[in-house]
Amino acid sequence: MSSETRFIVYARVSTDKQGRSGLGLEAQFETVSKYAADHGGLIVGQYVEVESGKRNDRPQLAAALAACRSERAVLLIAKLDRLARNARFLLTVVEGAGDAGVIFCDMPSVPPGPVGKFMLTQLAAVAELEAGLISQRTKAALAAAKERGTRLGNPSLRRGNHETARAATLARQTRADTTAHDVLTYIEAAKRAGAISLRDIAGSLEARGIRTPSGSTAWSATQVSRVLARA
């Protein structure tokens, strides 16, 4: 990357409390600053959004995209999940960033430009599909439990209701099992690609943006081992 590369930084936190305290923002700015310095680039603008990731109407993001187009700058973001959680919205953003494209520091191997746009939208589409399938299977499991006469709900609202507690446990186990089986496909693909150790597999899952059972995109060897055991 040339020394003339210009970056517009976009950062997002979910709550006003995080925005006021800087919680989360500090780590994001540290990440993007390091990336820009390592690649000989210059940060020419920074935009901060305090908004849920589920909302698509983000004025600060719109301002950042406009700045990218006018400055012919690259949109620089610390992590993919700071920007979008669905493929349609991500595609709108990468198209609106201009020719310079978007770079995510947690996915540095994705290049800017048309090829990077294609790769990012594919990754977001896979993540969205996985989330939809997990939700669908969880709802089906809960419906089946209800048909068997199991009462569903919050156990704390009906103390002593062991059936409800069992239903809640069943729902958690179903979600965990579904996630493990979904991730197993990508683990097998990583093995075919040459990943041997659990650490290698974890790195492959991170590179593809696959989420852990807890929703994070950061994988450890221990988490891979747990998924394999459950699957």
**pLDDT, tens only, 102-113:** 888 887 666 666
Read off the tokens for 177.
């099992």
At 43 the pLDDT is: 93
At 19 the pLDDT is: 44
214 or 167: which carries more pLDDT confidence? 214
Residue 175 CB contacts under 8 Å (≥ 6 apart), including other chains: 134, 138, 213
Mean pLDDT of 139-162: 67
Portion of the chain with pLDDT greater than 70, in percent? 66
At 104 the pLDDT is: 82
Which residue is associated with the tokens 């891979």? 224
In whole angstroms, give the CA distance from residue 137 to residue 155. Answer: 22
Convert 80-93 to b/e letters by CB count within 10 Å (16 or more is b): bbbbbbbbebbbeb
Residue ranges per structural domain of the chain: 6-112, 122-230
* Residue pair 15/82 in contact by the 8 Å Cβ criterion: no
Portion of the chain with pLDDT greater than 90, in percent? 9
- pTM reported for the whole predicted model: 0.49
Residue 53 backbone dihedrals phi, psi, to 5 degrees:
-70, -15
Q: Name the catalytic one among 3, 14, 33, 214.
A: 14
At 194 the pLDDT is: 78
Domain 6-112 has CATH 3.40.50.1390: yes
Q: Catalytic: 216?
A: no
At 32 the pLDDT is: 92
Q: Which of 142-151, 162-171, 175-184 has the lowest mean pLDDT?
A: 162-171
